Amino acid sequence: MAKSLLVLSNQEGFFSFLIEGVEIQKIKVERRGLLRITDSIFKGKVKKLVKGMDGAFVDIGLEKEAYLPLRSQCKGENTELLRVGEEVIVQVLREPVGEKGAKLTRRIKLIGKYVIYLPNTNEVKCSSKLEKEEKERLKYIASRLFSQHGSNCGIIFRKHASKASEEEILKDIDNLKKLWLKILKKTSAQKKPGILLEEYPSYVRLIKDHWHELEEIVADSPYVWNDIVSFLEEFEPSLVKKTVYVKDVGAYISRYRIHETFRKMLSKYVWLKGGGYLVIEETEAMTVIDVNSGEPYGESHEENAVSTNLEASKEIARQIILRDIGGIIVIDFIDMKKQENRDLVIKALQESFGEEACNVQIYGFTKLGLLEMARRKSGESLSSLLTESCPLCKGKGKVRSKSLLAFELERDLKSDLHGVVDLHVNPQSLSVVKGVIEKSGIKYVNLVEDPNVDYNDYEIHYKA
């Protein structure tokens, strides 16, 4: 099914929504003015070797030293011994989170339109989504390339390569090779640890991953629109005419129920159509998901459990992707006695991740009946980005972050303002709301302190 990309901006940052039909599939939030760290490439300097951890701490120019594992299960990973003081080119797998520094790899990946370019390796792989005949065609193209120019790089063919000609693929590889040579040149010229290549904005990354499915790209900022068009003119010119700047995006916000999606996403409860529900608890160590039963489907407990668990599997995958949850995830499905039913649920969960399956590892059920899995963690989850500790209960609870409050308030005022309105806010959030109004340039709003309004909310009162 065709997809749309909606990019909304405010003073705090950018909110990108990947939409299929009218359902939001992915949300990416990016704060304005911050360095994009995950997937960016840095020049680093080894500061300390830790034998017990089989890794090294590396200065890459950030506040905290980053961690570089020296043993990898990835084929093609450079596992040569390092020395303290040695300079290295690294890519960030996970940005710093809390007290932990960034996690690095020396297995550099440059992602193109049809291929992923791997410098200093000689492996050739194909996406599992490709048919056998297509894999053979692509590997033949790679073998011809290596026989003519040497094998100083590795290639992973993306699924989009199936529709590409040999000329298009070779052009993509050549562009990525030139980019790598620029990185090497900058590495030689750059004396101190620091960034060599910053990753694209989140909205451009979504385009790179889904360009073949996009039918519409909408931006409410002329800056973002121009940024996207400039990228597309080189990457995929056919999408330029499908990219539009819309100043008033109120209709899009209503059509895709943006505010409702945020509120549901920040709730730990998710209701299933069959009457059951999920409870999603995110902690610093792991995420725990509890599946609870609804109305009975069949005659036996086992039938009811399997039916609810299969429905829950699809929604769990959707919520993990939507909330951008990474790291260790433990799922407490409704207990099933038969092994074939457990296998059925594992298969359903794996398939529900779709294209995201490559970032997911499902380990199976434990003796306690808990399913263990992990998803690549590249940074903070959306819940962490869009909530903050509640000042009224001294951090025991979570409320919407100032950036999300600002985003929703600004959209509501701009779409609903047809005259002077009274904006009722809690006295303790008055300064935050006042700042939003001043930055947005919205006029004709009277601020009214109202202790009956929740700290993290507001009410718009229209004057007759």
- As a whole number of angstroms, the distance between CA 329 and CA 362 comes to 9
Residues 218, 272: one domain?
no
Instruction: Give the predicted TM-score (pTM) of the model.
Output: 0.83
Domain boundary among 65, 83, 105: 105
Domain boundary among 82, 105, 128: 105
CA 94 to chain centre: 11
Q: Is 405 helix (H, G, I), strand (E, B) or coil?
A: helix
Residues 287, 369: one domain?
yes
Number of domains in the chain: 5
The alpha carbon dihedral of 301, 302, 307, 311 has a sign of: positive
Q: pLDDT in tens for each of the 464 residues of the chain?
A: 789 999 999 888 899 999 999 999 999 999 888 899 999 999 999 999 987 778 999 999 999 999 999 875 444 455 467 899 999 999 999 999 878 899 999 999 999 999 999 998 888 999 888 899 999 999 999 888 887 766 678 999 998 899 899 999 999 999 999 999 999 999 999 999 999 999 999 999 999 999 999 999 999 999 999 999 999 999 999 999 999 999 989 899 999 999 899 888 888 999 999 889 999 999 888 999 999 986 665 568 888 899 999 999 999 999 999 999 999 999 999 999 999 999 999 999 999 998 888 889 999 999 999 999 999 888 788 888 888 776 666 555 677 777 787 788 877 777 665 667 888 888 888 887 887 777 767 777 888 888 888 877 888 887 75
- As a whole number of angstroms, the distance between CA 384 and CA 283 comes to 10
Beta bridge partners of 461: 422
Beta-carbon-side half-sphere exposure of residue 11 (alpha carbons within 13 Å): 15
The residue segments making up the domain with residue 52 are: 41-105
Q: Taking Cα atoms as reference points, which of 370, 350, 351, 369 lies closest to residue 361?
A: 350
- As a whole number of angstroms, the distance between CA 231 and CA 224 comes to 11
Q: Two tokens at 251?
A: 């209709």
Long-range contacts of 246-252 (CB under 8 A, 24+ apart): 246/218, 246/219, 246/220, 247/220, 248/220, 248/414, 248/415, 249/6, 249/8, 249/218, 249/220, 249/411, 250/411, 250/414, 250/415, 252/6, 252/218
Residues 9, 75: one domain?
no
Residues 122, 92: one domain?
no
Residues 187, 98: one domain?
no
In a domain, 262, yes or no: no
Residues 305, 337: one domain?
yes
Residues 156, 91: one domain?
no
Q: Two tokens at 445?
A: 């709003």
Q: Two tokens at 221?
A: 């900022």
Q: Taking Cα atoms as reference points, which of 55, 59, 35 lies closest to residue 45?
A: 59
Distance from the first to the final alpha carbon of the chain: 45
